Structure 1
Amino acid sequence: MRIALVTDAWHPQINGVVRTWSTVQDELTRLGHEVTPITPDGFRSLPCPGEPEIRLALATAAQVGRRLARARPEAIHIATEGPLGQAARRYCRRHRLDFTTSYHTHFPQYLEMRMGVPRRLTFSVMRRFHAAAKRVLVTTDTLAGELAAHGITHTVLWPRGVDARGFAPRDDAVVIDGPKPVMIYVGRVAVEKNIGDFLDLDVPGTKVVVGDGPQLAELQRRYPEVVFAGWQTGEDLARWYAAGDVFVFASRTDTYGLVLLEALASGLPVAAYPVPGPADVLGHAPQVACLHDDLATAVRGALALSPEDARTFALDYSWTACAERFVDQVERLAPAVWDRAASSLAARISAPITRFISR
C-alpha cells in the first residue's frame, strides 16, 4: 500500500509518539509498504512556547494537499491534532478524502494542568477534530471508554510494540554511583508526568531520571541527590534502562506508556499507580508489575518481582504485529478516493464557467 502519515510529532523531538511513528514507518517499509511522512521538517515552523524542541509547522491545507496529491496514497493517517494535522484534515474534508486519526496525548488534562484550560473546552476541540475520521486508533479499551464519554465513539484498538532486541538486559549497563536499589524513570520531564511523587518517596536506594523537558531545572534544584541523565537515545538509552532494578512510573495521565514495555524488555519490573495506561497494559500481569495507590508500596512490591519474568512478558509485544494491525485499520481503495477528489475539483472549476456560458 501507499500510505501517507501526517504527524506534528517527529524528529528531533524525543518522546513516545515520535518513537512509535518512526518505528512503525520502518516496519511498514520492511513489510513492503510505501510510506510518505508529512512532518514539520518539510515546512517553515516556529518553536512551541515553553518547549522549543517541538516545532509547530506553518503549513496551509494547500501545501499539505500538494504533498498528498504527489503521493496519491491509498491510506491517509493523521496522527496528531497539531497545526499540520489540522491542515491535513481541512484538505481531506475539502476534497472528500477518507482518513483515519489516532489519539496519543491527553491534551485536555495537560492544558488544564499547565494553563488552567477547562477540559471540556479542549475535549470539544478534540471531538470536532476526530469526528471527520473514519476511525480513531487508540491504545486501550479504557481510553476508548473515556473518549466515548466525550463523544468520540468510533475508536478501534491499536496496541503498541517494543524493540526487544534493542532494549534488553546487558553487560555494559551504565554504572550508577549510589546505593542499591536503583529506581529509574524514563520520559519527558514535565508536570503532567507527576515525577515529584517518585522523587518524594522515602525509600532506600538511588533515584534516576532519564529525560528532558520544561520541569527539569526545577526538579534538579529541588532534588540535588537524584541522578539526572538528560535525554538519551539508542544504545545509550538502553544502557540506562539496564542500570535499573525497578522502573517507577508516577504518571496519572498517560494513554499508554511506551516506556513501560521498554523497561520490561530491559528486565525491570514496574511500579506504578493503578490508573489508565499502566492498569490497561499491566493490570493483568502481577508477575511483572505492582500497581498500588501508595507508590512506595508499589516500589517495594515491584522489587520483589523477577527480572526474567519482566523480559518474558515484553517478548509477546512486537512492532511488526503493531504495524500489521495499523494496516488492517487504515486500508483504503486509492483509485476511487482520488478519482472522486479529482471529480469534485473539476466540478467546482467547471460550474462557474458553465453558468457564465449559459447566460
Structure 2
Amino acid sequence: MRIALITDASLSQINGVVNTLRETCRCLRNAGHEVLLVTPDGTATFACPTYPEIRLAYKPYARVATALRDFEADCIHISTEGPMGLAARRFCLRHGIGFTTAYHTRFPEYLSARSMLPLALTYRWLRWFHGPSKAVMVPTPHVLEALKKRGFRHLVLWGRGVDTERFHPTEQDRSCIKGPLFLYVGRVAVEKNIAAFLNAKLPGSKWIVGDGPLREELQQGYPDAHFLGSKSHEELSAYYNCADVLVFPSHTDTFGLVMLEAMACGVPVAAYPVCGPIDVVADGYSGSLELDLARACMNALRLDRDKIRAHALTYSWERATQQFLQSLYRIEPIKANRWVRSSIA
C-alpha cells in the first residue's frame, strides 16, 4: 500500500513521537509498503507557545496538500494535532477522504501544567480534531478508557515496541559512579514532574539525561544532581546500562518509550501507578509502581535484571506496526481518483 503519514514533529527532535514514527516507517517499508512522511522540516516555522524549543510549521496547507495530491495515497494517517495535522485534516475533509489519527500526547494535561488552561477546553478542541477520524489510535488500554470517558469515538489500540538489538545489557565502567545510580531520561519540563525525583531521599547518585525549558532552574536548585543534557538515540543505551534504576516520575505520559528502552537493557523502572507506567511496567517484575516514589526506587533495586529484559522482549515494533496497519482506513479507488482530479482543478 501507499501510506501517507503527516506529523508536526521534526525528525531532528528527540522524543517518543519521532521514535515511534521512525520505527513504524522502517517496519512498513521492510514489509513492502511505500511510505510518505510529511514533516515540517524545510518549511517556515514559529515557536510553539509555552515551549519555544519546539518549532511549528507556519501556514503549511499548500505544502501538505501538494504532497498528498502528488503521492495519491491508499491510506492517510494524521499523527499530531498541530498545524501540519490541521492542514492534512482540512485537505481530507475538503475532498471527502477518510483518514485516521493518533493520540500520542496528553496535551490537555501538558497545557494545564504550563498555562493553567482548563482541561475541559482543550479536550473539547481535541474531540473536534479527532471527531472525523475513522480510527483514533491510542497507545494503551488505560488511555483508551480515559478518552472514551471524555467522549472520544472510534478508539483503537496501537501499541509500541523497542529495538532490543540497540537496547540490550552491556558492561559499563562504573568505577567513577557513586552507586546506586538513579537515572531520568526525557524532556526537562514541568509536566514531567522531575522535581519529585530530585526531592526523593535516595542513596547514591541522580543523573538527568535530556534538555528542556526547566533545566536551568532545576540545575540551580539541585546542585547534587548531574544534568548531562540531551543525548542521541544511539547514545542512550550506554547511559541506561550505567544505571541501577530508571526513574519515571511523570503523571501525564501516554506511554513512555524510555521505560521500554531501559527494561530492554535489564534496568528496572520506578514510577507512579498512573497512566503510562501501569500499562508498560510489570509491577514487582520489571519495575516498581508506588505512590511513594522513593520506595518504588528502592524496591526496584531488588529486581532480577534477566527477568526485566525478558519482559521488554515481549514488545516489538513489528507487532505494533501490524496493529497500525489493521487500523488504517483504505481510501476507495473511485473516491481517490476523484479527489486527485478535483485538487488539481
The verdict on a shared fold, with TM-score over 0.5 as the criterion, is yes
Which residue matches 2:35? 35
| Distance change (3 Å), C-alpha of 1:270 and 1:176 | farther
TM-score (normalizing by structure 1)? 0.92
Q: Which residue pairs with 2:225 in the alignment? A: 226
- Distance, in Å, in 2 between the alignment partners of 1:47 and 1:28 is 32
1:337 aligns with 2:318: no
- Residue 93 (structure 2) pairs with residue 93 (structure 1): yes
Residues 19-74 of structure 1, C-alpha deviation per residue, up to 9 Å, x if partnerless?
Answer: 11111111111111111011001422123245444221113433311110110011
Q: How does 1:76-91 map to 2 (within 5 A)?
A: 76-91=76-91
Write out aligned runs for 1:313-352 (5 A).
313-342=311-340
The whole-number CA distance in structure 2 between the counterparts of 1:128 and 1:197 is: 34
Contact 1:162–1:319, Cα closer than 8 Å, also in 2? yes
2:166 corresponds in structure 1 to 166
Provide closer, same or farther for how the CA distance between residues 174 and 180 of structure 1 changes in structure 2, counting only shifts above 3 A: same
Structure 2 counterpart of 1:303, from 295, 301, 304? 301
How far apart, CA to CA, are the structure 2 residues paired with 1:336 and 1:302? 56
Residue 327 of structure 1, CA deviation: 1.1
Q: Which residue of 2 aligns with 1:244?
A: 243
2:7, 2:85 within 8 Å by CA — same for their partners in 1? yes
Bigger Rg, structure 1 or 2: 1
Change beyond 3 A, Cα 1:49–1:126: closer
Unmatched tracts of structure 1, length 5 or more: 350-359
Distance, in Å, in 1 between the alignment partners of 2:48 and 2:331 is 36
Identity %, equivalent residues: 47
Q: Is the 1:3–1:73 Cα contact (8 Å) retained in structure 2?
A: yes
Provide the alpha-carbon RMSD of the alignment: 1.7
The residue that corresponds to 1:354 in the other structure is none
Asked if the contact 2:255–2:277 (Cα under 8 Å) also holds between the matched residues in 1, the reply is yes
**CA displacement, residues 232-268 of structure 1 (integer Å, 9 cap, x when unaligned):** 1133211111110111111011111111100100111
1:180-199 pair list within 5 angstroms: 180-199=179-198
- Number of residue pairs matched? 345
Q: Which moved more, 1:323-332 or 1:199-208?
A: 323-332
Q: Against the structure 1 CA distance between its residues 177 and 216, is the aligned structure 2 distance closer, same or farther, given a 3 Å change threshold? A: farther
Task: Give the residue type in structure 1 aligned to 2:37.
Answer: P
As a proportion of its length, which structure holds more helix? Answer: 1
Give the Cα–Cα distance (whole angstroms) in 1 for the partners of residues 190 and 175 of structure 2: 26
Aligned match of 1:352? none
Verify the 8 A CA contact 1:249 1:272 in the aligned structure 2: yes
Query: Aligned partner of 1:121: which letter?
Result: L
Q: Map 1:271-310 to 2 at 5 A.
A: 271-282=270-281, 284-310=282-308
When residues 107 and 329 of structure 1 are mapped into structure 2, their CA distance, relative to the original with a 3 A threshold, is: same
Q: Contact conserved, 1:210 with 1:232, CA < 8 A, in 2?
A: yes
Q: Note if contact 1:13-1:53 (Cα within 8 Å) is conserved in structure 2.
A: no
Contact 1:75 1:334 in 2 (8 A): no
**SS at structure 2 position matched to 1:76:** strand
TM-score by length of 2: 0.96
The answer to whether the Cα contact below 8 Å between 2:181 and 2:245 also exists between their aligned partners in 1 is yes
Q: SS in structure 1 opposite 2:41?
A: helix
Q: Which residue of 2 aligns with 1:357?
A: none
1:187·1:210 contact (CA, 8 Å) conserved in 2?
yes
CA drift at 1:11:
1.7
Query: Closer, same or farther in 2 for the Cα pair 1:188/1:168, shift >3 Å?
Result: same
SS at match of 1:93: helix
1:206 matched to 2:213: no
